[in-house]
Structures are given as structure tokens and as C-alpha cells.
Structure 1
Amino acid sequence: MNNTVQNLILIVDDNPTNVKVLFECLKSAGHRVLVAQTGESALEKVQLVSPDLILLDVMMPGINGFETCQHLKASQSTQDIPVVFMTALSDTEEKVKGFSVGAVDYITKPFQREEVLARVNTHLQLRNLTRKLEQLVSERTYELTATLEKLQDSQLQLIQNEKMSSLGNLVAGVAHEINNPIGFISGNLDQALIAVQDVIECLRLYQQEVPVRETIQKKITEVDLEYLIEDLPKMLNSMKIGCDRIREISTSLRTFSRSDTDDKVSADIHEGIDSTLMILSHRLKANETRPEIQIIKNYCSIPKVPCYLGQLNQVFMNILANAIDSFEEANQNSTYSEIVENPNVITISTATNHQQMIISIKDNGYGMAPGIKKRIFDHLYTTKPIGQGTGLGLSICKQIIESKHQGQLTVESELGKGSLFTIILPIV
């Protein structure tokens, strides 16, 4: 049997005559041959070189063939090497025991050349076929894994696009319904304020030029006219401020959900972060269990960045919302006064090195254990109770930053000491 790549066969036998016969037989058939005279020597050799087949004698000094085979099968590096025992024709008990410890076959003594080569070639062929099958399985497993990852990415992309599309449609409708009446009210308030000032001036002139009768004076006292004259412009100004606030919220909603998934646009990242904070402002305010969550902004002067701003805002939303959730978990065993002494703080910092923009979002909340931190970006992994978390948030965030923007999203966290999320985006 002449092979392009010669098979290596290890003969383990302390009988020189047996070794010589087998060596010449196998060598003439085109195999490479290695010899060991004891079980101990064989175990040492297989640590240095991996034979394709081992011919193992049963009776040897030191550890016998059965013990040697057991050692081979117990080691992960040698357990797949086929072992063929060499035994006398009448040793049925030894043959059975050989199979029980892991041998694949046996060769009877005295050796017959044709039998030796037939059994050796059969097991070498089986060995090679097994290797090819393992390789095919490995390749197919790799292909299936890659396909699964692509399917998961596609699923995340579909979910993300659907969420952004739904949010964009909702905001467009809300903005349309809000902006028209707000514009009408705001414009009329300006005119109303002017009209009220004119009416007040007329009242002042009447007070100066016309004598006030007793019934009129009684009504003036009853309605507290001086207070009304002073307070009515203030009320109108408050209404104007309220309209402006609603307009700001509407603008923030449009900025947050900007539907720009087809092409990148140059955008102000600070504007995106601020719009997200506006959306979350109701969760940042003080309540009966804790004071207001403090927001510290360490913004540097940064250029506009080509990005999908709507999707980036989704990343900011997920990270900031998780930080607020972390505070709620950390505050469970703290009193209001204790939280006042150690306030909940989210620090948002931006920096640039002319090639990249670095956005850091740090909180001093509950933090994460190492096991949770390791899996935090995994698909469908969530630490929230059933019905409260989908396991898609941070997984989608990582895809948005790394796949859509060719950036990086990392997290540093320690249980009880908060978390730091770092987003790196290429400027060009």
C-alpha cells in the first residue's frame, strides 16, 4: 500500500523477533514504523508523536498491554488512536479483555503477512475516513454556526427596523397633531398679551378720568382688580412658556426617532443625547422613594459625525434606561436620606482624537457581577424578571455600534460600584 502521505505505525513488543517480522512487513508495504519495547516507553513516545495505528503486545515487562491501552484511552490526546492487540490464536480470554479496554482488533501469533497487512490497512482506512468525517462535521458545524449568527443578526435588524419605523410613524403623527394647535395657541398668546396690555391701559385711563361709582368699586374689590391686572400678563407668559416646552418635547421626539436608516447623515451627537435625556426626564425626576437623579455632562467641542442618528439615540436610550433601572435596584435597601447623602449620578462625557469620537456613560448604580457582565451583549440574554425584559436591548446596541457604524461598544462594571459604557465611533 503506497500512500502519498505515509502512515505511522507504532509497534509495542519486547520480543525482538516479533518486532523484526512486523517491522519488515510494514516497511515493505510503505508505512513508517516506530518501535517501543515497553508500555512505559510507548506512552512516552505518543506524547511526542501521534501514530496512526498502534500494534500492542499483551505480555510485556512493567505495565502490560491492557494497562497501556487503558492509559491511552484515558488521555484526550491519544484516545482516538486505534489499538490492535497481538495475541496467541488460543487466547480467547485475552481477546475479549482487549476489546473491553478499547482495542479495535487483534492479530494472532505467529504472524501471517497477509493477515497483518489486511487488518492494518482496514483500520488505517477507517481511521482516515473517520478523520475526513470529523473534518466535514467541523466544517458543516462552522457553516451552520455562521448561518445561525447571520439569522440572529437579520432578526435583530428586522426587530430594530420595525421598532424605529413604528416609533418614527408614531412621532410623525404626534408631532403633526401637536404642532398645529400649539402653533395656533402660541401665536394667539402673543397677540392676547398685547391685547391684555391695551385693555389694562384703558382701565387705568378710566380709573383716572371717570369717577368710580359705589357699585363699580364694590365689584373692583370683589374681583381684586389690581391683582388681576398684575397676574393676567404673568398667566399668559406662563402659557407661552408651556407651549414652548411642548414644542421642545416634540422636537426632541423627532430628533430621537429620526428615520435615517438608508443613508448616514452628519449629526450633532450632543443633540441626540440631549433629546434622549428629554424623553427620559420623567424617570429622572424626584419621587417619593428617592431624590432626582443627577446628570453631569462633560461635553467637549466635537464635529458632526456621519451616523444613523435615530439608531444611535436608541443606543443612548437603552444604556441610560438601564442605568436608571440599576439605581432602582441599588436603592431598594436605602432610605431617602441615605440616597441624598450618596446621590444617584449619571455622567456623560464626550471626547475626540480627530479620528474617533468617544462617548462615555457612567453610573454609580448597582453594577454587574462578572458572570452577567460576560453575557450582557448576548442575544436574548436579560437579567430582568419575566415579562419585563426581552434580551434584545444591548444586543441590538452592539450591532448598531459595531456592524452599522464600524465602531466599538464596551462595558466595565463591578458589583456595587456601577457601570461604564464606552462608545467609540469613527469620525470619518
Structure 2
Amino acid sequence: MIKPLNHEFILIVDDNPTNLSVLCAALNSEGFRFRVAVDGETAIAQAERNQPELILLDVQMPGIDGFETCRRLKANPATQNIPIIFTTALADTESKTKGFSLGAVDYIPKPFAQEEVIARVRVHLQLKKLTESLEQQVSDRTKALQQAQVQLVQQEKLSTLGELIAGIGHEINNPINFISSNIPPLEEYIAGVTELLLLYEQEYPNPTAKITTAIERLDLNFVLEDMGKIVNSLQLGSERIQNLSNSLRNFSRSDSDTKIPADLHQGLDSTLMILQHRLKANGERPSIEVIKSYGVLPEVNCYLGQMNQVFMNILANAIDALDEAIMQGKMSNLIPEIKIATEVDSEQLVIIRIADNGIGIPERLKKRLFEPLFTTKNVGKGTGLGLSIAYEIVVEKHKGVLDVNSQPGTGTEFTIKIPIE
């Protein structure tokens, strides 16, 4: 059972006093805190000032309707992650499809059944808390690993770093396997119950008035259809977390003693997955767009765990550069971008280019970028070891080349060249 915290609340948006009374009574009976807005504009303003845990949003309202209100909330980075449940008497498929396409997570049909309102609210609050918890765990542990990596690399213990990341992947994998393994039997149970209800409908075509009323109150056809959609959403969510777990394990492969043939595109993609939380929009900037122009690459004989470390250092630096450019107000008319391009040149070298459109690096500093302990970041923001480690891995251990090309105000591009054999 969810126990509401004092700072959490649900926002109810409806202009009908009767509807508000029913919803408020339902939430109040279970101890949920809530606030009320009677139109879309007021709801948007309230959500921006103080974000609710969930929004119950009427479709038909004066001024902007629920669909437009939902669209504006989802377009605003400050409110786009708040789950929205539509409350409506519109039962047609077109209206429901439109609501889901705008980002709503569910529908509650009118007239309201108190038990259904509470059940749906609980389900989506639980899903939201689970998602936030998992994302926060990944974010916290990734940050902890990034802080630990410098000490580990200085001690030449990349294998230990690999074990730590693999452990996180394993920890995530266990609970998500439990969830995903229970989805197929849940689908079977739902299908079985649906079949049984349809059989009852065939065998007893004239139900009693009490059953007819219960069916209408529940909106049985909608519930049967909606349960399948909810299960599909759970399936998609579990697949997303499984992909993250696989990326963590791929990233952490410890082969520091032996070179093996490896797919560098997989290494790049795993690194991007781990950095996904830093690529998302935040209160200071929009999301960073990653543009991939992958060529056809053969497998490269390399220390894959160490190459992933190179990708991590360079991509993390690119994100830092874009954040700095935003803070300095130098990207007001630009979308923050990271471009990754790969190819094989005529000398049988795999070439990987990673470029950002951030603040760039002055010429006088470029010559020192790969020096140990040199950093252009503010105190506490960087160790000065990331690029020196990348240089050692690419040049010393793989007999390759690591170059940088940058102009102040136009961005920075790192070029990695690795022999195929």
C-alpha cells in the first residue's frame, strides 16, 4: 500500500463541482493529499510552480480542453514526466487514442467508481515510483563509478571497475527478470478471465439488473481492453531496463590482459545508454541530441573494456562542454548536439569521430589537453586524468592516434584511429 508523504499531492483538474466532489472524496478516503484546478491554464501554472505526483485531467473543460492542456504539460521539461490520467465520458476509440498519443498513461471513465479511481491512481503512482527509483539508482551508481574510476585507473585496476559495473548490471537484472517473467502468466490469466466472461455472456445473455449495472459502472469492455495495454506498457518498461542492464554488462567487459575481436559500435551504444540520464533535458537545458553516422566496421582486435573507457571519457567531456556553453548563454539559438561518425580509411584504420557544438577550446590549451592532471574545468568538476587515460589507452596500448580539433565558439571534435589488427 502506498503511504502518501506530506510533500506529495495529486492535482485534480475539472470544472464540474460534482466530479470534483467525487474525486476529492475518493482520494481523501485513502489519505491522499490533493489540490484542485478548474481549467487548463490554472492547472499548467500550478504544475509548474509545485509539481504534483500525478494529474487527474478532465477532457472537456472551458478554455483549453484536456487534450491541449496535456500537450502543453508534456512539452514543458519541468512537467513532462508527470503521469496524466484523463477523466472523461468520451468512450470512443479515437478520443482514447488521441489521449495516449499525447502522453497520457490511462483513462478513468465517467461516471466514476471510487474503487476504480483509487486502483488506477495506485497503479500509476507505483509505476512512477518504481521508474524514479530505478533511474535514480542507475544515476547514483553511475556517478559513484565515475568518481571511483580515476582512483582505480591510477592503480591500474580496470578489471575491478569492470566487476563493479557488472555487479550493478546483475543487481538490476535480478528484479527485472522477476517482473518480466511474471508478465506472460499475467497475460494468460487476463486472457483466461476474458474468455470466461465472454462465455458467461454467451451462456447467460440476459443478466440480472444488478450485474448489468455493475458492468456499466465498470465499463467492462474498456477495462478488458485496457488491461492488455497496461501489460504491454509493463513489458516495454521491463525491456528498457533489460537493455540498460545489458549495456552495463557489455560496457564492463574486463579483457585488460588479452585483445579480442570486438564490435566498437556496441561499445559506443553501451556507453551512450549508461550516459542517458545526462543526455536528458534538465532545468537548465533541453535534451542533447545524439546524431550517429555509423559506417560499416569490421570487428577490431582491442581491449574492449579500455576502449569503452575512452568513449566514456570523451562523451562525458562533450556533455560537460555543452552544459558549460548553456550556462554561459552561448547556445541560445542552437540545439545541443553530439555527432558520432565511424568509418574505415585506406590504411585499414577504424576512425571514430566524436564532436560537440559546445564552447570549444582555445588554441593555447589544446596542446595540454592530454597532459595528466591538466583540466579546463572548474575546481571540483574534473580530475585532469580522463583524457590522459584515454590517450594512453589509444596511443600506447592500441598503437593508434587520438587527436583533437576545436575552435572557440564552434565546438570540439575528437578523432580516434585504431588499427583493425
Q: TM-score range by the shorter chain?
A: 0.5 to 0.7
1:60-115 CA distance string (max 9 Å, x none):
xxxxxxxxxxxxxxxxxxxxxxxxxxxxxxxxxxxxxxxxxxxxxxxxxxxxxxxx
Q: Which residue number in structure 1 is paired with residue 169 of structure 2?
A: 175
Tell me the equivalent position of 1:120. Answer: none
**Structure label with greater radius of gyration:** 1
Q: Name the aligned partner's letter for residue 402 of structure 1.
A: V
What's the CA shift string for 1:360-417, capped at 9, x where partnerless?
A: 1111111011222121111111122222211110000000001111101010111111
The 1:358–1:160 alpha-carbon spacing in structure 2 relative to 1, beyond 3 Å, is farther
User: Which whole-Å deviations, capped at 9, do the CAs of 1:116-160 have from their partners, x for residues lacking one?
Assistant: xxxxxxxxxxxxxxxxxxxxxxxxxxxxxxxxxxxxxxx998526
Deviation, 1:333, is 4.0
8 Å Cα contact 2:405/2:414 also seen in 1: yes
Q: 2:369 aligns with which of 365, 376, 384?
A: 376
> The residue matched to 1:349 in structure 2 has which SS?
strand
Q: Which residue of structure 1 aligns with residue 266 of structure 2?
A: 271
- 1:97-176 equivalences under 5 Å are 158-159=153-154, 161-162=156-157, 164-176=158-170
| 1:19-418 map, 5 Å | 158-159=153-154, 161-162=156-157, 164-210=158-204, 211-334=206-329, 339=332, 341-353=333-345, 355-418=348-411
Once residues 160 and 427 of structure 1 are traced to their aligned partners in structure 2, the CA distance between those partners, rounded to angstroms, is 28
- Provide the rounded CA distance (Å) in 1 between the counterparts of 2:197 and 2:389: 64
**For residues 160 and 337 of structure 2, what CA distance do their matches in structure 1 show?**
32
Q: Which amino acid aligns with 2:395?
A: E
Q: What's the CA shift for 1:206?
A: 1.3
2:354 and 2:209 map into 1 onto residues whose CA distance is 68
Q: Structure 1's 236 and 191: CA in aligned 2 closer, same or farther, altered over 3 A?
A: same
Q: Distance in 2 between matches of 1:232 and 1:158?
A: 49
Aligned counterparts of 2:170 and 2:354: Cα–Cα separation in 1: 33
Deviation at 1:226, TM superposition (A): 2.0
| Contact preservation (8 Å) 1:156, 1:392 | no
Cα gap change, 1:290 to 1:156, in 2 (>3 Å): closer
TM-score with structure 2 length normalisation?
Answer: 0.61
% identity of equivalent residues: 50
Match of 1:161, SS state, is coil
**Amino acid corresponding to residue 163 of structure 2 in structure 1:** N
What whole-Å deviation, never above 9, does each CA across 1:268-319 have from its counterpart, x for those lacking one?
0000001111111111122233222111111111100011111111111111
CA distance in 1, matches of 2:328, 2:154: 36
CA distance in 2, matches of 1:158, 1:191: 46
**Inter-partner Cα distance in structure 2 for 1:397 and 1:333:** 27
Whether contact under 8 Å (1:260, 1:310) holds in the other structure is yes
TM-score scaled by structure 1?
Answer: 0.60
Q: Deviations over 1:337-370 (max 9, x none)?
A: x64x421111111111362111111111110112
Deviation of the 1:224 alpha carbon: 2.7
Which blocks of at least 5 consecutive residues in structure 2 are unaligned?
1-149
**Which amino acid is the alignment partner of residue 339 of structure 2?**
T
Q: Which runs of 5+ in 1 are unaligned?
A: 1-154
Q: CA RMSD in A?
A: 2.0
Q: Alignment length, in residue pairs?
A: 270
CA distance in 1 between partners of 2:255 and 2:210 (Å):
67
Contact 1:156 1:396 in 2 (8 A): no
Matched to 1:240, the amino acid is Q
Q: Taking structure 1 as reference, are residues 362 and 158 closer, same or farther at Cα in structure 2, changes over 3 Å only? A: closer
Assess if the C-alpha contact under 8 Å between 1:160 and 1:396 holds in 2: no
Deviation at 1:185, TM superposition (A): 2.3
User: Residue 393 of structure 1 aligns to which amino acid in structure 2?
Assistant: G
Shift of residue 184 of structure 1? 3.0
